[in-house]
Amino acid sequence: MKVIINPAYEHLRPFIESLPQRITAEGETIHEGRNLIKMLTAPDGLRLNVKRYHRPSLLNALIYSLRLRTPKGVRAYRYPGRLTAKGFDTPEAVAYIEQHEHGLMAFSFFVSVQCDYPHRLYEIAHAAPEVYMPLAKAIARFTASMHDSGIMHLDYSPGNVLWDLRDGKYVFSLVDINRMAFRKIGMKEGCRNFARLWGPKQFVRTIAREYAACRGLDPDDCEDITMTFRFKFWNRYLRKHSVPFSVEM
Protein backbone atom coordinates (compact mmCIF):
# COMPACT_ATOMS: atom_id res chain seq x y z
CA MET A 1 0.00 0.00 0.00
CA LYS A 2 1.29 3.44 -0.96
CA VAL A 3 0.49 6.32 1.39
CA ILE A 4 1.30 10.01 0.92
CA ILE A 5 0.46 12.24 3.89
CA ASN A 6 0.47 16.02 4.14
CA PRO A 7 3.21 16.75 6.73
CA ALA A 8 0.73 18.84 8.72
CA TYR A 9 -1.24 15.63 9.40
CA GLU A 10 1.59 13.20 9.99
CA HIS A 11 0.35 12.74 13.57
CA LEU A 12 -2.72 11.00 12.11
CA ARG A 13 -0.72 8.41 10.15
CA PRO A 14 -1.97 5.28 12.00
CA PHE A 15 -5.59 6.41 11.53
CA ILE A 16 -5.07 7.41 7.89
CA GLU A 17 -3.45 4.10 7.06
CA SER A 18 -6.49 2.30 8.50
CA LEU A 19 -9.01 4.20 6.35
CA PRO A 20 -9.25 1.59 3.54
CA GLN A 21 -10.61 -0.85 6.12
CA ARG A 22 -12.66 1.68 8.08
CA ILE A 23 -14.52 3.20 5.12
CA THR A 24 -16.60 0.08 4.49
CA ALA A 25 -18.02 -0.09 8.02
CA GLU A 26 -17.63 3.34 9.61
CA GLY A 27 -18.46 6.96 8.95
CA GLU A 28 -21.29 8.99 7.51
CA THR A 29 -22.05 8.28 3.86
CA ILE A 30 -22.02 11.39 1.68
CA HIS A 31 -22.24 9.62 -1.67
CA GLU A 32 -22.40 6.00 -2.74
CA GLY A 33 -22.25 5.07 -6.39
CA ARG A 34 -19.38 4.61 -8.80
CA ASN A 35 -17.21 6.18 -6.10
CA LEU A 36 -17.76 6.04 -2.34
CA ILE A 37 -17.45 9.18 -0.23
CA LYS A 38 -17.68 9.15 3.56
CA MET A 39 -17.04 11.54 6.42
CA LEU A 40 -15.02 10.06 9.28
CA THR A 41 -13.74 11.69 12.45
CA ALA A 42 -10.05 11.35 13.29
CA PRO A 43 -8.87 10.71 16.87
CA ASP A 44 -8.09 14.42 17.34
CA GLY A 45 -11.67 15.37 16.37
CA LEU A 46 -10.85 16.51 12.83
CA ARG A 47 -13.58 15.64 10.33
CA LEU A 48 -12.16 14.01 7.23
CA ASN A 49 -13.72 13.54 3.81
CA VAL A 50 -12.59 10.18 2.42
CA LYS A 51 -13.20 9.35 -1.24
CA ARG A 52 -12.61 5.84 -2.55
CA TYR A 53 -12.34 5.79 -6.33
CA HIS A 54 -13.85 2.88 -8.21
CA ARG A 55 -11.59 0.01 -9.14
CA PRO A 56 -10.04 0.78 -12.56
CA SER A 57 -10.28 -1.56 -15.51
CA LEU A 58 -7.31 -3.85 -16.10
CA LEU A 59 -5.99 -1.55 -18.84
CA ASN A 60 -6.34 1.59 -16.70
CA ALA A 61 -4.82 -0.20 -13.71
CA LEU A 62 -1.76 -0.92 -15.85
CA ILE A 63 -1.65 2.65 -17.18
CA TYR A 64 -1.91 4.13 -13.67
CA SER A 65 0.58 1.68 -12.20
CA LEU A 66 3.16 2.54 -14.85
CA ARG A 67 2.34 6.23 -14.32
CA LEU A 68 1.56 6.66 -18.01
CA ARG A 69 -1.36 8.70 -16.69
CA THR A 70 -1.57 10.41 -13.30
CA PRO A 71 -4.23 8.73 -11.09
CA LYS A 72 -7.25 10.85 -10.15
CA GLY A 73 -6.43 10.69 -6.46
CA VAL A 74 -2.91 11.97 -7.02
CA ARG A 75 -4.25 14.93 -8.97
CA ALA A 76 -6.85 15.58 -6.26
CA TYR A 77 -4.05 15.58 -3.68
CA ARG A 78 -1.79 17.93 -5.65
CA TYR A 79 -4.28 20.50 -6.93
CA PRO A 80 -5.55 22.10 -3.67
CA GLY A 81 -2.23 23.83 -3.15
CA ARG A 82 -2.39 25.37 -6.62
CA LEU A 83 -5.89 26.73 -5.99
CA THR A 84 -5.26 28.10 -2.53
CA ALA A 85 -2.04 29.75 -3.70
CA LYS A 86 -4.22 31.78 -6.08
CA GLY A 87 -6.75 32.60 -3.36
CA PHE A 88 -9.49 30.08 -4.23
CA ASP A 89 -10.92 27.91 -1.50
CA THR A 90 -10.92 24.12 -1.64
CA PRO A 91 -10.66 21.59 1.21
CA GLU A 92 -7.08 21.03 2.33
CA ALA A 93 -5.50 17.78 1.13
CA VAL A 94 -4.65 15.35 3.94
CA ALA A 95 -3.54 12.14 2.23
CA TYR A 96 -3.50 9.92 -0.83
CA ILE A 97 -3.68 6.14 -0.46
CA GLU A 98 -3.15 3.53 -3.16
CA GLN A 99 -3.80 -0.18 -2.79
CA HIS A 100 -2.20 -2.73 -5.11
CA GLU A 101 -3.12 -6.26 -6.13
CA HIS A 102 -0.77 -8.46 -8.17
CA GLY A 103 1.46 -5.44 -8.73
CA LEU A 104 -1.32 -3.29 -10.20
CA MET A 105 -3.29 -0.40 -8.71
CA ALA A 106 -6.63 -1.50 -7.28
CA PHE A 107 -8.52 1.01 -5.10
CA SER A 108 -7.20 4.50 -4.44
CA PHE A 109 -8.31 7.06 -1.87
CA PHE A 110 -8.18 10.82 -1.50
CA VAL A 111 -8.51 12.27 2.00
CA SER A 112 -9.23 15.93 2.68
CA VAL A 113 -10.52 18.10 5.48
CA GLN A 114 -14.34 18.07 5.44
CA CYS A 115 -15.68 21.38 4.08
CA ASP A 116 -18.22 23.02 6.40
CA TYR A 117 -20.05 25.01 3.70
CA PRO A 118 -23.70 23.85 3.98
CA HIS A 119 -25.01 24.60 0.48
CA ARG A 120 -24.60 23.23 -3.02
CA LEU A 121 -25.93 24.63 -6.26
CA TYR A 122 -28.49 21.81 -6.48
CA GLU A 123 -30.71 23.96 -4.27
CA ILE A 124 -31.16 26.53 -7.04
CA ALA A 125 -33.48 24.21 -8.98
CA HIS A 126 -36.45 25.24 -6.81
CA ALA A 127 -35.24 28.65 -5.59
CA ALA A 128 -37.11 31.92 -6.05
CA PRO A 129 -35.58 34.77 -8.10
CA GLU A 130 -34.82 36.83 -5.01
CA VAL A 131 -32.64 33.93 -3.84
CA TYR A 132 -30.92 32.89 -7.04
CA MET A 133 -30.29 36.27 -8.69
CA PRO A 134 -27.69 37.57 -6.19
CA LEU A 135 -26.14 34.10 -6.02
CA ALA A 136 -25.92 33.98 -9.83
CA LYS A 137 -23.96 37.23 -9.90
CA ALA A 138 -21.69 36.05 -7.10
CA ILE A 139 -20.89 32.71 -8.78
CA ALA A 140 -20.23 34.58 -12.05
CA ARG A 141 -17.74 36.89 -10.36
CA PHE A 142 -16.08 33.95 -8.61
CA THR A 143 -15.76 31.99 -11.86
CA ALA A 144 -14.51 34.99 -13.83
CA SER A 145 -11.81 35.54 -11.23
CA MET A 146 -10.76 31.89 -11.51
CA HIS A 147 -10.65 31.99 -15.29
CA ASP A 148 -8.67 35.24 -15.26
CA SER A 149 -6.19 33.43 -13.00
CA GLY A 150 -5.86 30.61 -15.55
CA ILE A 151 -7.82 28.05 -13.53
CA MET A 152 -10.85 26.08 -14.73
CA HIS A 153 -12.74 23.26 -13.03
CA LEU A 154 -13.51 20.75 -15.78
CA ASP A 155 -16.36 19.15 -13.81
CA TYR A 156 -18.16 22.39 -12.91
CA SER A 157 -21.40 20.80 -11.79
CA PRO A 158 -23.87 21.71 -9.00
CA GLY A 159 -22.44 19.16 -6.57
CA ASN A 160 -18.88 20.40 -6.93
CA VAL A 161 -19.48 24.05 -5.99
CA LEU A 162 -20.16 24.51 -2.28
CA TRP A 163 -21.29 27.89 -0.99
CA ASP A 164 -22.37 29.85 2.05
CA LEU A 165 -23.47 33.37 2.90
CA ARG A 166 -21.23 34.82 5.59
CA ASP A 167 -21.41 38.37 6.87
CA GLY A 168 -23.55 39.24 3.87
CA LYS A 169 -21.02 37.90 1.38
CA TYR A 170 -21.22 34.76 -0.75
CA VAL A 171 -18.24 32.44 -0.35
CA PHE A 172 -17.43 29.38 -2.46
CA SER A 173 -15.34 26.23 -2.17
CA LEU A 174 -14.54 23.78 -4.96
CA VAL A 175 -14.56 20.01 -4.45
CA ASP A 176 -13.86 16.99 -6.66
CA ILE A 177 -10.99 18.85 -8.29
CA ASN A 178 -9.09 15.98 -9.90
CA ARG A 179 -10.06 17.36 -13.33
CA MET A 180 -8.68 20.88 -13.68
CA ALA A 181 -7.17 23.02 -16.44
CA PHE A 182 -4.38 25.49 -15.75
CA ARG A 183 -4.03 27.67 -18.84
CA LYS A 184 -5.37 30.80 -20.49
CA ILE A 185 -9.19 30.58 -20.60
CA GLY A 186 -10.89 32.22 -23.58
CA MET A 187 -14.49 33.40 -23.88
CA LYS A 188 -15.95 30.31 -25.59
CA GLU A 189 -14.27 27.85 -23.24
CA GLY A 190 -15.16 29.96 -20.21
CA CYS A 191 -18.84 30.25 -21.16
CA ARG A 192 -19.04 26.55 -21.93
CA ASN A 193 -17.95 25.91 -18.33
CA PHE A 194 -21.47 26.87 -17.15
CA ALA A 195 -23.32 24.32 -19.30
CA ARG A 196 -23.84 21.75 -16.53
CA LEU A 197 -25.30 24.09 -13.92
CA TRP A 198 -28.84 23.38 -12.77
CA GLY A 199 -31.53 25.94 -12.19
CA PRO A 200 -33.89 28.25 -14.08
CA LYS A 201 -32.83 29.66 -17.43
CA GLN A 202 -32.71 33.13 -15.94
CA PHE A 203 -30.21 31.93 -13.34
CA VAL A 204 -27.82 30.78 -16.06
CA ARG A 205 -28.46 33.83 -18.26
CA THR A 206 -27.63 36.11 -15.34
CA ILE A 207 -24.41 34.19 -14.70
CA ALA A 208 -23.38 34.56 -18.35
CA ARG A 209 -24.01 38.30 -18.51
CA GLU A 210 -22.34 39.06 -15.18
CA TYR A 211 -19.40 36.87 -16.20
CA ALA A 212 -19.06 38.92 -19.39
CA ALA A 213 -19.12 42.16 -17.44
CA CYS A 214 -16.37 40.91 -15.12
CA ARG A 215 -14.09 39.83 -17.96
CA GLY A 216 -14.79 42.71 -20.34
CA LEU A 217 -16.58 40.49 -22.87
CA ASP A 218 -19.70 41.05 -24.96
CA PRO A 219 -22.69 40.04 -22.76
CA ASP A 220 -24.88 39.01 -25.70
CA ASP A 221 -22.16 36.76 -27.10
CA CYS A 222 -21.51 35.22 -23.69
CA GLU A 223 -25.19 34.55 -23.12
CA ASP A 224 -25.64 32.98 -26.57
CA ILE A 225 -22.60 30.72 -26.16
CA THR A 226 -23.57 29.69 -22.64
CA MET A 227 -27.18 28.90 -23.48
CA THR A 228 -26.23 27.00 -26.65
CA PHE A 229 -23.85 24.71 -24.77
CA ARG A 230 -26.36 24.42 -21.93
CA PHE A 231 -29.07 23.21 -24.35
CA LYS A 232 -26.71 20.69 -25.96
CA PHE A 233 -25.63 19.29 -22.61
CA TRP A 234 -29.11 18.93 -21.09
CA ASN A 235 -30.68 17.67 -24.30
CA ARG A 236 -28.14 14.84 -24.31
CA TYR A 237 -28.12 14.26 -20.54
CA LEU A 238 -31.91 13.98 -20.12
CA ARG A 239 -32.10 11.21 -22.71
CA LYS A 240 -30.26 8.91 -20.30
CA HIS A 241 -30.92 10.39 -16.84
CA SER A 242 -33.80 11.73 -14.80
CA VAL A 243 -33.61 14.79 -12.54
CA PRO A 244 -35.97 15.75 -9.69
CA PHE A 245 -37.14 18.96 -11.37
CA SER A 246 -38.25 20.31 -14.72
CA VAL A 247 -35.40 21.59 -16.89
CA GLU A 248 -36.21 24.70 -18.92
CA MET A 249 -34.83 23.98 -22.39
Task: Check pLDDT > 90 for residue 147.
Answer: yes
Mean pLDDT, residues 86-94: 98
Give the pLDDT band (50/70/90) at residue 125: confident
Mean pLDDT, residues 5-17: 98
C-alpha distances in angstroms, 154 versus 11, 120, 157, 178? Answer: 33, 17, 9, 9
pLDDT by residue (tens digit) across 40-54?
999 999 999 999 999
Give the pLDDT band (50/70/90) at residue 219: very high
Specify the pLDDT at position 15: 98
Specify the pLDDT at position 241: 86
pLDDT by residue (tens digit) across 97-107?
999 999 999 99
Closest CA to 77 of 67, 86, 90: 90
